[in-house]
Amino acid sequence: MSFENLEEKADLVKYFVSEIREMLDEVEPQIIAMEKDASFGRVDGEVLNTIFRLFHSLKGSASFLDLKTITSITHEAENLLDIFRRGEAFLNSRYVDLLIRTTDFIRKILDAVEKQLHDGGYENDAEQIISELRNTLSGAAAGESGDSSPGRPCEIEPEPCSSEANGVAGERLMANFVAESREILDEAERTLLALEKDPGSAELAGRAFRALHSFKGNAGFMGYGELEEVAHRAETLLEKIRDGEKNCDPVSISFLLIAVDALRDGVACLEMGGPPRVEGKNEIVEYLAKMAGEAAPQDTPSAPVTDGGLTSVQESEVPKGAPKEEPASNQQFIRVDLEKLDRSQKENKKVELVITGEETEVDKTIIEQISDPLVHLIRNAVDHGIEAPEERRRLGKPETARVNLAAKHSAGEVWIVVEDDGRGLDRSKILRRAVEKGLLPPGREESIKDEEVWRLIFEPGFSTADKVTSISGRGVGMDVVKRNIERLRGRIDIRTRPGAGTMFAIRIPLTLAIIEGMVVKVGNSRYTIPISSIKESFQPLSGQLTVAPDGQEVVRVRGELLPVVRLHELYRIPPPRFNRLEEGILIVVESDNKKCCLFVDELVGQQQIVIKGLSRYLGQVRGVSGCAILGDGDVSLILDVAGLINSLEERGQLA
Partner 1 sequence: MTALKERLDADLLEEEEEEEDTQEDEYLTFLIGQEEYGIEIRYVTEIIGIQNITEVPDMPPFIKGVINLRGKVIPVMDVRLRFGVEARPYDDRTCIVVINIGDTLVGLIVDRVFEVLDIPKTDLEPPPRVRKGEESRFIQGMGKVGDKVKIILNAEKLLYEQNA
Binding site for partner 1 (CB under 8 A): 525-526, 570-573, 612-618, 621-624, 627, 629, 633-637
Least distance in Å: CB of 605 to partner 1? 17
State whether residue 428 is helix, strand or coil.
helix
Nearer to partner 1, 550 or 617 (CB): 617
- The values of phi and psi at residue 327, to 5°, are -65, 140
Nearer to partner 1, 430 or 598 (CB): 598
Nearer to partner 1, 149 or 608 (CB): 608
State whether residue 527 is helix, strand or coil.
strand
Write the CA distances from 444 to 425, 435, 437, 557, 655, integer angstroms: 19, 9, 14, 15, 20
Nearer to partner 1, 168 or 618 (CB): 618
State whether residue 623 is helix, strand or coil.
coil
Least distance in Å: CB of 567 to partner 1? 10
Q: Which residues contact 648 (CB under 8 A, 6 or more apart)?
A: 563, 565, 596, 654
Least distance in Å: CB of 71 to partner 1? 54
Least distance in Å: CB of 592 to partner 1? 23
State whether residue 230 is helix, strand or coil.
helix
Write the CA distances from 396 to 349, 351, 381, 393, 423, integer angstroms: 16, 16, 19, 5, 12
Write the CA distances from 312 to 10, 341, 424, integer angstroms: 18, 18, 33
Give the separation between CA 517 and CA 531, rounded to whole angstroms.
5
Nearest to 60 by CA among 306, 283, 282: 306
Least distance in Å: CB of 612 to partner 1? 5
Q: Which value, in Å, is the radius of gyration of the alpha carbons in the chain?
A: 29
Nearer to partner 1, 202 or 621 (CB): 621
Q: Which residues contact 505 (CB under 8 A, 6 or more apart)?
A: 415, 416, 417, 492, 493, 494, 495
Give the separation between CA 311 and CA 321, rounded to whole angstroms.
19
Nearer to partner 1, 528 or 533 (CB): 528
Least distance in Å: CB of 620 to partner 1? 10
Least distance in Å: CB of 239 to partner 1? 34
Nearer to partner 1, 505 or 621 (CB): 621
Q: How far apart are the first and last CA of the chain?
A: 66
Nearer to partner 1, 346 or 616 (CB): 616
Least distance in Å: CB of 327 to partner 1? 23
